Amino acid sequence: MLAKAIYNIGIRLYKAGVCLAAMGGKKKASLWLKGRQDWQTRMRQAGLGQHPVIWIHAASLGEFEQGRPVLEALRLRYPGYKILLTFFSPSGYEVRKDYPGADYVFYLPLDTRRNARDFADIVKPSLAIFIKYEFWYHLLTELYIRKIPVLLVSGIFRQDQLFFKGYGGMFKQLLQQLTHIFVQNKNSLELLNGIGIHHASISGDTRFDRVAALLTEQQTLPLVTPFASHDKLLVAGSTWPEDEQLLASWWQQSSHPGLKLIIAPHEIHEGHIRQVKTLFPQAVTYSALKAGTADTDATVLIIDNIGMLTTLYRYANITYVGGGFGKDGIHNLLEPAAYSKPVIIGPEYSKYFEAVELVALHGALVVPELTNLQDYMNLLLNDPEFYEKTASIAGNYVKDNKGATEKILQYIQEKRFLSKE
């Protein structure tokens, strides 16, 4: 089959590209390769295959957080099973490789036919769960052949995806092989039904359950607490250069007494952190704060490590979520919304239904240009009624959309994929 041949070539070209990037000194590429070396031996040595296993796969850190409520609920309800968590990306694995909620954490092997067979032979999963997306042909086909139930949770589909194209038959076949597809919204369900996929249902998005659970966690950042004390705080998370330029223009055009700014860029390599420091010359970095070499009177803090953003939003009075000036659109705005924080975003958000809904409710504020940012910041800082209304809408939106995890667990229980013994 031509499509399969093209897919296999694409997989090998991808690996070749990663190898070249690693040779060029790219850290993520090196981690991607190193994490997959001799994976069969390492999985066997870890004890995989010796106990019943539930396998959960997340592309990266965001998908892990999205699926985390399902993982943790399964662990509680089915204690006789070990949990295997896999990641495709280093940005997920390197942050969560020691996650205590999983018994095993590994990189997902490259999707070749041999790797898929070896993986299924070693792991022997009783149930496989994929979070949101990632449709690996050989792995999913091998699971289907072995009659291992596979669920997609928090799926989201758009008309422009391969499944809905005339030449996307191979990927449509993968959808047909899945045991059940839990989608986030009605539009996704209708798209699937339109191509003959009916083993699907609307569960909502498990991210709502995850971000709602943040309210019960008591995590703090001891080095950030003194910085955030006694002043109002704007936390700008997952920012890209366009976001940072906008924020810098706003910050430099006027004084901000009683206000501090934390910027957590999406890319934290040394070159980009230098660029952000150029925009904010008086800023200090988190690593300098940690080393004790930072100016304690600084009003701008740049976060130059990963894994902190969720907790940072807890400290904020106002939040800015980046990505809204790029073609891929904004990052996760549900985390700050869960804390009942007003959320400011750029204009590219239409791909994300939660952003569309929250903007329509006036719980998220869109800033296409500098004057919009100035106007909204003035309102949020100086109009308590406007601030409280915006914050309340954001928090209530998350509360009103919880419940996807329970729907998924109920399905698993009804189908008796797993034993409670």
- The beta strands (E) that lie in 298-397 are given as 300-302, 318-321, 343-345, 364-366
Phi, psi of 314 (to 5 degrees): -60, -35
Residue 232 pairs in a beta bridge with 259
Tokens at 177, concatenated: 């092989």
* Neighbour count for residue 75 (Cβ, 10 Å): 16
Nearest to 205 by CA among 362, 324, 353: 353
State the Rg of the chain over Cα: 22
Strand order across the beta sheet in which 343-345 lies: 284-285, 300-302, 259-265, 232-239, 318-321, 343-345, 364-366
Give me the sign of the Cα torsion angle 34, 40, 42, 46: positive
Instruction: Give the Cα separation of 204 and 354 in Å (integer).
Output: 11
Distance, C-alpha 383 to centroid of its chain: 33
Q: Which residues are catalytic?
A: 63
Residue with tokens 């699971």: 143
DSSP state of 276: H
Instruction: Give the Cα separation of 155 and 207 in Å (integer).
Output: 11
Tokens at 103, concatenated: 């018994």
Instruction: Give the Cα separation of 120 and 234 in Å (integer).
Output: 47
Q: How many residues does the chain have?
A: 421
